[in-house]
Amino acid sequence: MVKVKINGKTIKVEKKSTIIEVADSNDIEIPRFCYHKKLSIAANCRMCLVEVKNFPKPLPACATYVSEGMEIFTKSKQTKACQQDVMEFLLINHPLDCPICDQGGECDLQDTAMSFGSPKSRYTEEKRVVLNKNLGPLVSTDLNRCIQCSRCVRFLQEVGGMQELGLIGRGEHAEISAYVEKSVESEISGNIIDLCPVGALTSKPFRYSARTWEMARKSTISPHDSLGSNIEAHVKDGNVMRILPKENEDINECWISDRDRFSYLGVNHDSRIKKPLVKQGNVLKEIDWEDALQIIESKLHPIRNNFKEDDIAFFGSDQLTLEEGFLLKKISEHFSSNQVNYNPKIHVNYVSNPHLNIKINEIESFDSVILIGSNLRDENPLILQRLRKMTLNNKKIDLIHYEDQDLQLQLDHKLIKPIEKIEKSILEILEIALDHKKAKKNQTTESGLAEKLKTQNVLILIGQDFVSRESILGYGEMLNQLVKKSSTSIGFLPTGANSVGLNQIFNDKNDVDNKSYKASITFNHEPEHDSIDEDLHKEIIKKSSFNILISAYQTKQDKSYDLILPSCSHFENEGSFVNLENKLQTFTQVIPPKHESKPLWKILRVLGNYVECDNFNYESCTAVKKDAVKGLLSNKNNNLELINKQSKNNNKIFKFSINNSDPMVRRSKALQDIEHLRSTR
């Protein structure tokens, strides 16, 4: 610790702090543009200049480390003069087009000019002009407004892992450019919109649609991956206008993925189901809710009154909330049905309650991470950015997979083989690490990884594919031994927003037999995209006597169902998700339901009443949650509990793709446009 004086006040601070960090932690305002706490220091805007005693010139607060006895003045005459001069320089070429700029009202440049600038401009010469660049369907450019702070460049390189933007030219001619006029394609590129301190980079889909002061800000949780990013929906006239990250250092830090940011564009898609639909002949006819519920009663009541086990099959989705999962479980029990597939992306779990086993923010505390069988760029891009951050701190990342992955980071070891061979390699690595087997004389990747497991503090992260492959039963016990013997930890990477919560509600039982049922109910997913076994779903629907779909969107298979009920999209719904670190996060409704759709928990609650389920008179989602959380497990520590069971079809692997992960994402035009661009390169 060192003692410094800031504006006459003596404070004790960490030796390795910069002046700007000291000021921020003591609520002392220093204006800045290029500095960002998550990026490297560029010190190129000079907005943070401050007077420091015994230094002949003012110093940039973002790039100057404190030292014993330093005296800093953030409000002195010299500091104020510097701030005014820098502001004047920055505004020389700025177009001052605030009335037509999307950033107006939330612009750092505007705010800083008002607080620290001069009220008059002395510049009467012509301003320079910079041509805009097409960065793709997500980010819009107005480069006349750019102040060359380089935050966007540093973000894409350091956090996104791709050098997609650069600063070309010098002085008056410096400008931001994409390489060879290419669009920006990182999965987290939208964060440059938030980082840009001026209106040079704005959201293309949001452009000119609302002013910041016209929108209400509502907090919610992203439903697209198991991280559970905290987000803020900005709402106007009952519509989500844009999504921004809500800072949560323990989960998503201050970032979100492009999928989280732009999926809202699917809410008002033409394929939204407007009213309940009933099949008459080969056409679907709109009916009232009352009539739809009576049809359900007339079909399901006789099944219940004269039931055998497993008369009904239920096909859920990994986006079902905890409350919806809990009500679904109760309904299935009422019908004595074990036929529930709550996560159609996998066949079975061979590990009980697979989750991260540690806190998300503990990942970076390990020396090394071995990533097994997970395509993080598609499945969980913000966990991947944490791994990238580790490599910047000289930590090592290894990849073991059955297909090559470009993770946009420097890998230490990469072991890519067909799936059966890779499973043998995992076995060999563990055998060498546990001294059950001697390493081959010539150094192989397997022996290198085994050596690492013996000597370092390693986190093994296992993707969802490997949890649903029977081979984990062969090496699972060895993983447990390794944890006991070394400082290795093991975590799993489930993919769905509520995979962890649903596994606990349903006790990891995720089976539907291929037979004919008296009825089937499918919830909120499209088997042709979201299911590992589309054919099984199709066959069951064909063989079953009465099929219900409860969904926000019409699907290609609509005509296979006898009755379709419109449910709410995520932003119209309320409930809770359990994220990959086993953290329960509850969200409320952000916008009113569209058309005649209803929240799924309410539909299930009414359905349960119609078929006379016991103890089903829940009056609110909160009341359901109160009962649902009783079934949740506390965070287990590092012990892998294997489930021995017969698999019905263990050979298929689910192909996960970031912009095809759920029905809402598939209906976001901007996300589909960027997907199209990526696939045509």
Contacting positions for ligand SF4 (CB under 6 A): 146-152, 176, 195-198, 200-201
53: left (phi over 0), alpha (psi -120 to 50) or beta: beta
C-alpha to C-alpha distance for 367 and 345, rounded to whole angstroms: 32
Return the half-sphere exposure (C-beta side, CA atoms, 13 A cut-off) of residue 361.
7
Q: Which is nearer to ligand FES, 59 or 453 (CB)?
A: 59
CB of 90 to ligand SF4, least distance (A): 10
CB of 490 to ligand SF4, least distance (A): 39
Q: Which is nearer to ligand FES, 35 or 264 (CB)?
A: 35
Beta carbons of 488 and 458 less than 8 angstroms apart: yes
Which residues are registered as beta bridge partners of 598? 567
Q: Which is nearer to ligand FES, 197 or 575 (CB)?
A: 197
Instruction: Give the binding site for ligand FES (CB under 6 A).
Output: 32-35, 43, 45-48, 60, 62
Q: Which spans in 226-341 are helix H?
A: 258-262, 289-305, 322-334
**Residue 46 binding result from ligand FES, ligand SF4, none, given CB thresholds of 5 to 8 Å by partner type:** ligand FES
Residue 50: Cβ-neighbour burial (10 angstroms; 0-12, 13-18, 19+)? buried
CB of 165 to ligand SF4, least distance (A): 7
**Residue 135 binding result from ligand SF4, ligand FES, none, given CB thresholds of 5 to 8 Å by partner type:** none
Beta carbons of 661 and 259 less than 8 angstroms apart: yes
Q: Helix or strand or coil: residue 530?
A: helix
Beta carbons of 174 and 200 less than 8 angstroms apart: no
Which residues are registered as beta bridge partners of 460? 370, 490
3-class DSSP string for 536-570: HHHHHHHHCCCEEEEECECCCCHHHCCEEEEECCH
Q: Which is nearer to ligand SF4, 151 or 594 (CB)?
A: 151
CB of 300 to ligand SF4, least distance (A): 57
Q: Which is nearer to ligand FES, 46 or 518 (CB)?
A: 46
Between strands 239-245 and 2-6, the pairing is: unpaired
Output phi, psi for 119, to 5 deg. Answer: -70, -15
Beta carbons of 184 and 20 less than 8 angstroms apart: no
Q: Which is nearer to ligand FES, 37 or 211 (CB)?
A: 37
Q: Which is nearer to ligand FES, 48 or 459 (CB)?
A: 48
**Residue 151 binding result from ligand SF4, ligand FES, none, given CB thresholds of 5 to 8 Å by partner type:** ligand SF4
**Residue 613 binding result from ligand SF4, ligand FES, none, given CB thresholds of 5 to 8 Å by partner type:** none
286-305 burial: b if 16+ Cβ within 10 Å, else e: ebeeeebbebbeebbeebbe
**Residue 43 binding result from ligand FES, ligand SF4, none, given CB thresholds of 5 to 8 Å by partner type:** ligand FES
**Residue 60 binding result from ligand SF4, ligand FES, none, given CB thresholds of 5 to 8 Å by partner type:** ligand FES
CB of 35 to ligand FES, least distance (A): 4
CB of 107 to ligand FES, least distance (A): 16
**Residue 200 binding result from ligand SF4, ligand FES, none, given CB thresholds of 5 to 8 Å by partner type:** ligand SF4
End-to-end CA distance of the chain: 52
Q: Which is nearer to ligand FES, 47 or 653 (CB)?
A: 47
CB of 39 to ligand FES, least distance (A): 11
**Residue 32 binding result from ligand SF4, ligand FES, none, given CB thresholds of 5 to 8 Å by partner type:** ligand FES
CB of 19 to ligand FES, least distance (A): 9
C-alpha to C-alpha distance for 323 and 326, rounded to whole angstroms: 5
Q: Which is nearer to ligand FES, 21 or 581 (CB)?
A: 21
Helices 419-433 and 472-485 pack at an angle, to 10 degrees, of 30
**Residue 152 binding result from ligand FES, ligand SF4, none, given CB thresholds of 5 to 8 Å by partner type:** ligand SF4
C-alpha to C-alpha distance for 105 and 125, rounded to whole angstroms: 27
Q: Which is nearer to ligand SF4, 44 or 531 (CB)?
A: 44
CB of 82 to ligand FES, least distance (A): 11
**Residue 48 binding result from ligand FES, ligand SF4, none, given CB thresholds of 5 to 8 Å by partner type:** ligand FES
C-alpha to C-alpha distance for 339 and 513, rounded to whole angstroms: 7
CB of 35 to ligand SF4, least distance (A): 12
